[in-house]
Structure 1
Amino acid sequence: MGALVSILLSVGAPILAGILKTKGGKGGAIAGDVIEAVADRLGTDATPQAIEDAYKADPEIFTKTVRTIETDYAAIARAGAEAHLAYIELVKGDRDSADILTRVWRPMNGFLFPVGCLMIVATVSVMLLSRVPVDASVLPLIGIVVPIMTAWAGVVGYYVGQRTKEKTTGAT
């Protein structure tokens, strides 16, 4: 793989070369994608040796092809960075908002919803494990807690779903 990295650097593809240099973990999956993309565009097998052979056969075509792919990967990286920065600005705006509800919405829901769910699971588990009979006086409480938690889950789920959609479409 070292020869392929040096070829990519020599034709001006530092992003692709950097990806291939760090081929462990998630970088390994991306490195495999890079090799497949280069091989696909060159019409060769997806192996470093086949790609090196394609370079030796026609360096000019190889250079043009790799620079196109490099530009594509750079655009993807830029878009990801811009989306991340936009999200950071959104969170900073919430944090610095004059409206108390805007400031506390995320942290309070992030803390209270799991605590509420944990309390319900713990209570039900203790009741089941200790074989405590469910008294009829508990039923109205269950009738209140279940709809409240369901509504809360719906609101949090809707909010998370909308934010996910906004993030994937690039909106802030």
Structure 2
Amino acid sequence: MHSAHPGSFRVRSARAEDEAALGALDRDTWSTLHAVAPEPVPPYDPFFDSTHRPEHYLVAEEAEETGETEGAEEARGTGGLLGYIRLVPPTPLLCNRHVRQIQGLAVAEAARGRGVARALLRAAYGEARRQGAVRMTLRVLGHNAPARALYESEGFAVEGVLPGEFHLGGEYVDDVLMGRRLD
């Protein structure tokens, strides 16, 4: 377990048995606000595959010792998982091994406003440091103001913008590159 959060959830490393719950959470939270891939439709692809392995993910789950909490009933649909973050090296290059990149962050609708995303980010910093990283990067869609505000409040700065990189919902959307040091 990575951390307990006083607000009734904890962050831990993902396990293979989380696959169904993570897949459901991913589908439930899909939106053009943050996703560039098409909306998932049945039959669904597996959540884990050769490039998306359990060890790449941290998950937030309801803390057992607190009993039922607000949103717990809705969370049971995703196996009690409230959110996840995917943390990976951005490239396979040795010269880039000091960097970790966030390649996915999702929080169940019922768990929003409880600090889950912030707790996942902070747990990811610790995990990245444990892996030897000194820098973290991410990409966020320009129109995703809530995510951008969260990242900025956590010390990420805009390091580049690819204007109109994606065409989503009939509009051109910027791809915003952000990063921060971990020391």
**Same topology, TM > 0.5:** no
Q: Work out which of the two has the higher radius of gyration on C-alpha atoms and give 1 or 2.
A: 1
Q: Name the one with the larger helix percent.
A: 1
TM-score bin (small chain): under 0.3
With structure 1 as the length reference, what TM-score do the two structures score? 0.17
Q: Which has the higher strand share?
A: 2
Higher RCO, 1 vs 2 (CA within 8 Å, ≥6 residues apart): 2
